[in-house]
Structure 1
Amino acid sequence: MADRLDTITIGRDLEVRKIGYGAMQLTGPQVWGPYPDHEGGVRLLRSLLDQGVNFIDTADVYGPHTNELLIREALHPYSDELVIATKGGFVRGGYEYSTLGWVGNPKYLRQSLMMSLRRLRLDRVQLYYLHSGYATDAPFEDQIGELKAMQDEGYIQHIGLSNVTPEQFATARGIADIVAVTALYNVGNRRGAQLLTAAEESGAVFSPWHPASLRDGGDNADRVASALAPIAAAHGVTPQQLAIAWLLHRSPAMLPIPGTRSLAHLRENVAAASVDLSDDEVATITELVDEKAIHG
């Protein structure tokens, strides 16, 4: 149990607590514009280390840009304990999600990293993700090659991948050391199941997004919620806390990054690490979705 509740190491040298913080919610509606409660966002970010959270996940497209700026305002100069991950490769042209797109042009990726470093006031980012494998304006291999070049130049400490296929993950590993991957994976939606397996086999950290969601399973949502309710009640926790606890039991590679705008909710998320599930309880939740039938 101690291993599950303690820390996880990214790339052999970045040791973080096993529940991180996804900062995306500290933006305006639909992840567009600055977070309306600016001072509240600053207070929440400044509370993270006190709550035992020392890993923050952000991206240049959150806002865009406003999320990284808020993190800098709240936390710079950064504690030696803190690890910040950011991403590049998504673009956003307005409030509507339909304006969201992908760019893989290596020059654009280089600009994205340099601007993230400027906004965060960093000389080197500890973990930098290619935010999407969907871009078709440049070969995927060239995109990874540019990240590797920037790593060799000292601007990136470690490279991660977000929104990629298992095949792209394998391709990227032939070009650079990939230490982290993010994908949609939770109690109801296991879309990232193959990537989780690939991460485990390669020694990479796996950060599931929407980790506490009970609704991402579509038609599964009601069935999943019903199955979780008695287990959550037996442990005196919310179903969302149980969902996070199950992830930590599911794999030693797991680094959930739940987001919240509330200090009370942040404390609930962190407390999920203390929920000790039996093997039967873990199996009951795991078997709610046939992961073998999922194709990346």
Structure 2
Amino acid sequence: MRIKPLGNQGLKASELGLGCMGMSDFYGSRNDEESTRVIQHAYDLGINFFDTADMYGPYTNEILVGKAIKPFRKDCTLATKFGIVRDPNDPSRRGINGKPEYVRSSCENSLKRLDVEVIDLYYLHRKDPDTPIEETVGAMSELVKEGKVRGIGLSEVNADTLRKAHTVHPITALQSEYSLWTREPEDGILDTCRELGIAFVAYSPLGRGFLTGQIKKFEDFEPGDYRRFSPRFQGENFDKNLQLVQKMEAMARMKGCTVSQLALAWVLSQGDQIFPIPGTKRIKYLQENVRALDVSLSPEELKDIDAIAPKGVAAGSRYPESAMTSVGR
């Protein structure tokens, strides 16, 4: 497991991170004891980059992650996010807030829940359409000056917004969805990150679990699973996307690896500034994901993958229509 620079502001992180969202929310039942074991075993395997957010739970995931990393806090890179506001009485209802006063209060609350003195990487989860990005990032830069935050990140913004933000304070990382079935970052964002020296953190690099080959039918999702309401996992879209996975599985068998390892190896091959953060609640899948680092892809194999999964191959949008309006701002 390589530890490499995360952006140009002095942070470093393992080349593969761990997304912790599904341990507390969105993907069915939770088991905090097992999730703690997964986080701590990830560290044993060389992963020191852990990703959470205040809206996961909401709030409970930060508490879980903070407790789990306590034995090795000084040796890991901790990332959390703010900006998506969920209704405490109905968590399915949400808004976006990037106002300067909210930036500060959110950071203070996250520090308490995580039980840490400083957050290594603090992301704006979604751009607030009612607040100029310069104001939000200006408030985040004050947190850096005060020693409460080491690096500033953005999530799911477009290249213009990223450039504007970077003029206010250097941006350490941009986090957006990126995988074989979500390739929009190739339309300018990855190039902008390379140009500005900004790390790109790829969430859902396994297509929210679909690219693992473990999901065979809609009924595999638990009743409370978010994916039951995601367009890519419904009706004809599900069947079309399953055909994509089956093609990838055939190539993985020829390669002598699992389809999830093939999918992760592809993301890793797209640039050294890219940090995938696949999430899992199971140690066996964590170990499988880490072994993707042993899978190398030749130029010919990359061409074969591109033929199977060209840009735009996925059927259905990655979020319901209402949520799609908050990405790419």
The match for 1:289 is: 310
Change (3 A) 1:14 1:276: same
Change (3 A) 1:231 1:95: farther
Change (3 A) 1:252 1:112: same
> Quick one: which amino acid aligns to residue 129 of structure 1?
Y
> Quick one: which amino acid aligns to residue 186 of structure 1?
S
The match for 1:9 is: 5
**Structure 1 moving runs of 4+ over 3 Å:** 94-98, 214-220
- 1:62 Cα shift? 0.6
- 1:158 Cα shift? 0.6
Whether the 8 Å CA contact 1:31–1:62 is kept in 2: the answer is: no
> Quick one: which amino acid aligns to residue 294 of structure 2?
S
Q: Structure 1, residues 260-293: CA drift from partner, whole Å, max 9, x if none? A: 00000000011111101111111332453248xx
Whether the 8 Å CA contact 1:54–1:83 is kept in 2: the answer is: yes
Q: Structure 1, residues 32-62: CA drift from partner, whole Å, max 9, x if none? A: 9xx7312112222221211211100111111
Q: Structure 1, residues 208-258: CA drift from partner, whole Å, max 9, x if none? A: 111012569956734532442232112222211111000111111110000
Whether the 8 Å CA contact 2:7–2:273 is kept in 1: the answer is: no
Unaligned residue ranges in structure 2 (runs of 5+): 212-229, 313-326
Separation in structure 2 between the aligned mates of residue 242 and residue 170 of structure 1, nearest angstrom: 33
Q: 1:146 aligned to 117, 135, 139, which one?
A: 139
Change (3 A) 1:281 1:97: farther
The match for 2:57 is: 63
Whether the 8 Å CA contact 1:231–1:281 is kept in 2: the answer is: no
Q: What's the secondary structure of 2:276's corresponding residue?
A: coil
The match for 2:299 is: 279
Separation in structure 1 between the aligned mates of residue 269 and residue 147 of structure 2, nearest angstrom: 35
Change (3 A) 1:31 1:114: farther
The match for 2:215 is: none
Separation in structure 1 between the aligned mates of residue 159 and residue 231 of structure 2, nearest angstrom: 21
Separation in structure 2 between the aligned mates of residue 56 and residue 225 of structure 1, nearest angstrom: 27
Whether the 8 Å CA contact 2:122–2:153 is kept in 1: the answer is: yes
Q: Structure 1, residues 106-155: CA drift from partner, whole Å, max 9, x if none? A: 1011100111111112221111111111x123222111111111111211
1:199-214 → structure 2 map (5 Å cutoff): 199-213=193-207, 214=210
Which range moved further: 46-55 or 279-288? 279-288
The match for 1:129 is: 123
Measured on the aligned residues, the alpha-carbon RMSD in Å equals: 2.4
Identity value in percent = 32
The match for 1:90 is: 84
Change (3 A) 1:189 1:95: farther
- 1:7 Cα shift? 3.0
**2:102 corresponds to 1:105:** no
The match for 1:78 is: 72
Separation in structure 2 between the aligned mates of residue 208 and residue 202 of structure 1, nearest angstrom: 17
